């Protein structure tokens, strides 16, 4: 991920909880995405993880003291330079002090001096998270305009069992930071439905027909649309990798289940991006019991599955922008143009499954856009996240051109 982190400055605050070890990975991910990361450690955080770790991961000095010779105005300089402030983990003690506007150490002083958006990511024991005072402090922070995530549920410190209080995973936190700093755009507040992955058509209770789709392209589109501020529904067949956070995921297995989910989801949507690879055929008569090798049929009769884009034409609300994909192995552009017309699409994304780096289960893609006006735009080989943003740029223009 480079958008929207290139050239941006992120202030990462780390407070004194056992989850501080995850903060190192957050710093790493932010730096890899292109951000300049300034790390501020509280005194108690330094008991869990040292400044040298963050300096090695970010290539930048780490800040720990509010009052130090030559650093008297660090809290002002850091706050002014930041495009976003992220506190992860945020302990119950830090949340209480931040909610009361205290500035007795560097990190809380930075918060008071900051005008950039602030993301607070709590992590603590489940009883501490459930306490009325903590809940009241969180409500107040949100009233101040801070974004405060709810902690994840799961195993806590040794001997404490499981419950709500775990720090969300670093990739999910970074996704929230990206949404926080994404520049204003035409998708904010829009409803977008994206499909991803293959479908599975049962042969018997344990076997199925499917294809090689990993769902990476659709997941990249859904994640990018959510990052850009859209309300995203991801209708997903079996996925190799799901987005870390954000989109509402509707899991389906068969093509017919995907069709029904899409038809329902688009009723209040602004855009449908059909990036899934639903099966084109299904066994005409699936077996009720597992087919034994000794009695296997010599052939399996196939029947066509539902054509999702064609059958949902009547269900599309007025003004819905509809984008399809054409994954071909020959005459890709010709087949793409035919699909654009037959499915009444606004845009079709054409790619050749035989081209190196552009087929199934890769992190890259090379596509050609064909618009309803006949305009053809060839794109170079690039990361699927970059392709996703190019598609969404065009979806924005289509939405606001109506």
Q: Which residues are tagged catalytic?
A: 211
* DSSP assigned state of 291: P
Query: Residues 98, 114: contact at Cβ < 8 Å?
Result: no
Q: Can you point out the beta strands (E) in 170-317?
A: 191-196, 201-204, 207-209, 231-236, 248-251, 271-274, 281-283, 302-304
300: Cβ contacts below 8 Å, ≥ 6 apart: 203, 283, 284
Quote the CA–CA distance of 331 and 29 in Å, as a whole number. Answer: 40
* DSSP assigned state of 182: P
248 forms bridges with which residues in the sheet? 233
Q: What angle do CA 230, 232, 233 make, to 5 degrees?
A: 165
- Find tokens 């009723």 and name the residue: 267
* DSSP assigned state of 53: H
Quote the CA–CA distance of 234 and 254 in Å, as a whole number. Answer: 15
Instruction: Give phi and psi for 201, each to the nearest 5.
Output: -105, 120
Quote the CA–CA distance of 375 and 6 in Å, as a whole number. Answer: 31
Question: 212 is written with which tokens?
Answer: 């090689």
Residue 373: Cβ within 10 Å count:
7
Question: 31 is written with which tokens?
Answer: 């730096």
Question: 18 is written with which tokens?
Answer: 């056992």
β-bridge pairing 364-365 and 382-383: antiparallel
Quote the CA–CA distance of 199 and 180 in Å, as a whole number. Answer: 33
Question: 264 is written with which tokens?
Answer: 């329902």
Question: 248 is written with which tokens?
Answer: 């509402």
């Amino acid at each position: 991920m480079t958008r929207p982190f290139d050239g941006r400055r992120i202030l990462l605050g780390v407070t004194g909880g056992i989850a501080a070890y995850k903060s190192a990975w957050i710093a790493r991910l932010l730096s890899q995405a292109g951000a300049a990361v300034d790390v501020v450690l509280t005194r108690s955080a330094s008991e869990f993880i040292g400044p040298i770790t963050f300096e090695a991961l970010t290539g930048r000095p780490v800040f720990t003291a509010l009052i130090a010779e030559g650093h008297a105005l660090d809290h002002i300089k850091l706050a002014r330079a930041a495009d976003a402030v992220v506190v992860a983990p945020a302990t119950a003690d830090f949340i209480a002090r931040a909610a009361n506007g205290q500035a007795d150490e560097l990190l809380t002083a930075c918060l008071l001096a900051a005008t950039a958006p602030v993301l607070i990511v709590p992590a603590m024991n489940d009883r501490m998270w459930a306490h009325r005072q903590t809940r009241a402090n969180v409500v107040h922070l949100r009233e101040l305009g801070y974004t405060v995530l709810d902690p994840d549920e799961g195993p806590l410190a040794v001997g404490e069992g499981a419950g709500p209080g775990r720090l969300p995973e670093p990739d999910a936190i970074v996704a929230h930071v990206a949404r926080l700093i994404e520049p204003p755009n035409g998708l904010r507040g829009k409803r977008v439905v994206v499909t991803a992955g293959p479908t599975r058509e049962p042969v018997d209770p344990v076997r199925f027909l499917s294809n090689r789709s990993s769902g990476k392209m659709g997941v990249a589109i859904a994640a990018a649309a959510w990052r850009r501020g859209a309300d995203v529904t991801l209708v997903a067949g079996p996925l190799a990798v799901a987005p870390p956070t954000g989109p509402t995921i509707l899991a389906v297995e068969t093509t017919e289940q995907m069709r029904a989910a899409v038809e329902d989801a688009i009723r209040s949507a602004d855009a449908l991006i059909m990036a899934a690879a639903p099966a084109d055929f299904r066994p005409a008569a699936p077996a009720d019991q597992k087919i034994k090798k000794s009695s296997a049929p010599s052939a399996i009769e196939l029947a066509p599955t539902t054509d999702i884009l064609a059958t949902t034409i009547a269900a599309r609300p007025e003004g819905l922008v509809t984008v399809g994909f054409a994954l071909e192995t020959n005459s890709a552009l010709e087949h793409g143009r035919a699909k654009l017309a037959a499915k009444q699409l606004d845009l079709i994304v054409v790619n050749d499954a035989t081209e190196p780096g552009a087929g199934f289960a890769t992190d890259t893609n090379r596509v050609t856009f064909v618009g309803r006006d006949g305009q053809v735009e060839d794109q170079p080989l690039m990361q699927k996240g970059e392709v996703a943003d190019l598609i969404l740029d065009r979806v924005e223009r289509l939405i606001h051109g109506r």
